[in-house]
Amino acid sequence: MTSFRQLRADLLLVSPIYCSEFLRGYSELLSGAGVRHVSVAGAGVFTGSAAEARMRGHALAGTIETYRLSFESGGSMTGRFLVTRLDYSGDFGGERTYTLALESSGAVVAA
């Protein structure tokens, strides 16, 4: 498992507007409709794990894969994500750190 120093998850829900009401000067959001989207950003220290190698491979290939994300609070979420950003940094002779961003593709289940 990858260890994150910092992890942030945002849930974005965009609902369509009921057009006939919009034309009367106001809009009404429809419950249960629209687009659900989860963005996750994290940062950590590379440990050389197999999970990190797989994630790097997914980022370079642009593949959507299933991830189980665990948070320090004990919660987790599982879903299919695309690695949209993977940045490396580090000093000569020091530890290598990374930041990453994941975007959901399909349903995400919180546990």
Identify whether 30 is part of a domain.
Answer: no
**How many structural domains is the chain composed of?**
1
Judge whether 76 and 111 are in contact, CB under 8 Å. Answer: yes
3-state DSSP call for residue 97?
strand
Domain region containing 42:
4-10+38-110
Identify whether 28 is part of a domain.
Answer: no
Identify whether 52 is part of a domain.
Answer: yes
pLDDT at 91: 80
Mean pLDDT value of segment 67-88: 91
Mean pLDDT value of segment 47-63: 89
Mean pLDDT value of segment 64-82: 91
Identify whether 26 is part of a domain.
Answer: no
- For the chain, percent of residues with pLDDT exceeding 70: 72
The pTM for the full model equals 0.68
